[in-house]
Amino acid sequence: MDSAQQDALNQALDGLWAKFLPLIEERVGLLESAAAACAAGRLSIEQQQAAAAAAHKLAGVLGTFSLTEGTVLARELETVYFQPDVPGSALGARLISVAAELRLIVRNRK
């Protein structure tokens, strides 16, 4: 791929990022809320299911934008939230930390 093609691809990806950023941020927010609820011992099954779905979608979309670390973190959350049992509050601190890392990755994409 020559430089002009690479520039065109980068511009296209930047346009897609701008278009989908509100949805990406919404999903990260959902994960932050679920993590806080888990830490407080108040995570509902509905929140858990929504968090699992959001993490799954984020894992894919962040990979599309070459945010590999974000994909790894989202998959970690997906694994936790897809468990049949509601995660215990002991996991809350880790879930909060991972969600915060995802927020930074999304915020810092240039």
- Measured CA to CA in angstroms, residue 4 lies from 36, 95, 101, 106 at distances of 45, 41, 33, 26
How high is the pLDDT of residue 86? 81
> What is the domain partition of the chain in residue ranges?
3-108
Name the pTM for this structure. 0.91
Is 3-108 CATH 1.20.120? yes
Question: Is 83's pLDDT higher than 70?
Answer: yes
Report pLDDT digits (tens) over 9-61.
889 989 999 999 999 999 999 999 999 999 999 999 999 999 999 999 999 99
How high is the pLDDT of residue 110? 60
C-alpha gyration radius of the chain:
15
